[in-house]
Amino acid sequence: MSDNLRLVHFGIGAFHRGHQAYYLNLLNEKLPEAERWYYTDVNLRKETRAIPEALKKQNGHYHFKRIAPDGTAQYIAISSIDRVEDASEDASIVSRIFTDDCVKAATITVTEAGYYLTESDDLDTAHPEIAHDLAVIRQGSGQPKTLYGFLALALLARQAMANGAITVATCDNLRDNGKRLEKAFRQFVDAASLSSLNTWMSDNVTFPCSMVDRITPVPPVNLPEEIKREVGVEDACPIMGEDFEQWVIENKLAAEFPPLDKVGVTFTHNVHAFEEAKIRILNGGHFLLSYVGALRGYKTYDENIRDDELNALLTEYHQREVIPTIYEHPFDLEQYRQIIVSRFSNAYIADSIERIAMDSISKFPQFILPTVRFNLERGYSPNAAVTLISHWYCFLALLIEGRFSFNYKDPYLNVAKGWMEKNDPVKAFLADPDIWQGLNQRFPLFGEQLEQQIQTTLDAYQERYP
């Protein structure tokens, strides 16, 4: 491990290694050794420890296969991570990491579900894992289970330092992600009775918003063999991703930060305009169309795009319902849409529908609900959204009823199971306050339209999934 300035990352996954670590690697190639930055990566959960263990054996180094839509590939050696630790059984490692004066910032990728937010963007303090972490922090002993518990340990360590100011940058697909993390984390700190930490944070910690973009699918099992053949190096944990990358960071930093603008990262005071376009055009379309493809038996997302009917449905959703309701244009939105469709069609990436479809209960209010709301408020019936949402409901209903087999992961699946246990599951779905946030009460005709479409869609799959 070097003595250079450092970032710490919570949540070691393919996206982090293909995005934040990739960008830092690009930067280091432009800097003399004394000015380079390195990552300390920290695993938080026992169920995700396999890759960090393999990565640690390689001193944090790995290869990234960067693939263009025409199949052209680069094999990039990534060396910007030089320390990998596992805090899933020994949380004390977090305090030791963050007392290092060289650490100036932390980045986070724990997926949308890892923030435990309610419909009002408050921390769900009733969730058993949050309640557990509050008890751990209050007692000053035990093993946290969530981001909040580990982050509390990190910032308590910083508070005890003479120069502990630090930037905490979430890189997950949540609107206003930095603001939402700060609000929820302060609620956690208050609930844990850490008033002095809350006061210290006001002067020493910032939570900038960010927008991130790159498709990094689960790598195929033969990728290590390919790396060995093409590069001549043994690598137990390589990753792959598309040749598109984007990172926009709010210019709101508490301490030194790597000059990533040298390698194409955008620092701005208006991240919202970028993330609104990305979340609603890319993530919204990506997410909703995955359930139609899943029900049709497709395995990878490029199959969706090669299906003329689904491609047309995605185009209608983008052009008639999403783009007309995005009111700030940080770039040409139609050109951006075309780039996204090209990215989705990359058969060499072969991004699995299984990966995209996960965590739908927490994603829907973030990715889809604003588009539906803005269309209803302008008096426009979002027919493509209705068709797509009906397939999402049918996917969940058929899965829960055991009529459809799919490796679906979602910590909030019990919410959907609750709908299915009611006498009228569709009405229970339409009445769910966390999903709809009162929208169906404001626009009852929309709810009726969606209810009818759901029944039509269910009927259409009766023969395939009896």
Mean model confidence pLDDT for the chain: 96
Say how far apart CA 13 and CA 11 lie, in whole Å: 6
Residue 67 has which token pair?
């693939």
Contact 397, 458 (CB under 8 A): yes
Q: Which CATH superfamily is domain 5-269 in?
A: NAD(P)-binding Rossmann-like Domain (3.40.50.720)
Tell me the whole-structure pTM to 2 decimals: 0.85
Task: Convert the pLDDT of each residue in 260-291 to its tens digit.
Answer: 999 999 999 999 999 999 999 999 999 999 99
Say how far apart CA 98 and CA 140 lie, in whole Å: 17
Contact 218, 350 (CB under 8 A): no
Say how far apart CA 201 and CA 151 lie, in whole Å: 12
Task: Convert the pLDDT of each residue in 324-362 to its tens digit.
Answer: 999 999 999 999 999 999 999 999 998 999 999 999 999
Contact 161, 99 (CB under 8 A): yes
Torsional class of 357: left (φ above 0), alpha (ψ -120 to 50), beta (otherwise): alpha
Mapping DSSP to helix (H, G, I), strand (E, B) and coil, where does residue 10 land? strand
Nearest CA to 264 among 253, 248, 251? 248
The DSSP annotation for 242-271 comes to: ES--EEEEES--SS----GGGGTPEEES-H
Query: Which residue reads 């960010």 in tokens?
Result: 210
Residue 1 — very low, low, confident or very high, per pLDDT cuts 50/70/90? Answer: low
Residue 164 — very low, low, confident or very high, per pLDDT cuts 50/70/90? Answer: very high
The DSSP annotation for 42-99 comes to: EE--GGG-HHHHHHHHTTT-EEEEEE-TT--EEEEEE-SEEEEEE-SS-THHHHHHHT
Residue 113 — very low, low, confident or very high, per pLDDT cuts 50/70/90? Answer: confident
Say how far apart CA 40 and CA 387 lie, in whole Å: 44
Task: Convert the pLDDT of each residue in 174-193 to its tens digit.
Answer: 989 999 999 999 999 999 99
Say how far apart CA 300 and CA 287 lie, in whole Å: 13
Task: Convert the pLDDT of each residue in 368-403 to its tens digit.
Answer: 999 999 999 999 999 999 999 999 999 999 999 999
Counting Cβ atoms within 10 Å, is residue 269 exposed (0-12), middle (13-18) or buried (19+)?
exposed
Residues of the chain with CATH 3.40.50.720: 5-269
Mapping DSSP to helix (H, G, I), strand (E, B) and coil, where does residue 214 land? coil
Residue 123 — very low, low, confident or very high, per pLDDT cuts 50/70/90? Answer: very high
Rg (CA), the chain: 22
Residue 94 — very low, low, confident or very high, per pLDDT cuts 50/70/90? Answer: very high
Give kind and range of the element (H or E) at residue 38: strand 37-43
**CA distances for 174 relative to 34, 109, 436, 441, 443, angstroms:** 35, 11, 17, 25, 25
Task: Convert the pLDDT of each residue in 426-455 to its tens digit.
Answer: 999 999 999 999 999 999 999 999 999 999
Q: Would you state the pLDDT for residue 2?
A: 72
Residue 112 — very low, low, confident or very high, per pLDDT cuts 50/70/90? Answer: confident
Task: Convert the pLDDT of each residue in 129-153 to its tens digit.
Answer: 999 999 999 999 999 999 999 999 9
Q: Which residue has the higher pLDDT, 120 or 157?
A: 157
- Output the CATH code of domain 272-460: 1.10.1040.10
Q: Is the sign of the CA dihedral 50, 65, 233, 36 positive or negative?
A: negative
Q: Would you state the pLDDT for residue 119?
A: 79
**CA distances for 356 relative to 99, 114, 400, 444, angstroms:** 37, 16, 19, 30
Residue 194 — very low, low, confident or very high, per pLDDT cuts 50/70/90? Answer: very high
Residue 405 has which token pair?
């087999």
Contact 292, 390 (CB under 8 A): no
How many Cβ atoms from other residues are within 10 Å of residue 392's Cβ? 26
Residues of the chain with CATH 1.10.1040.10: 272-460
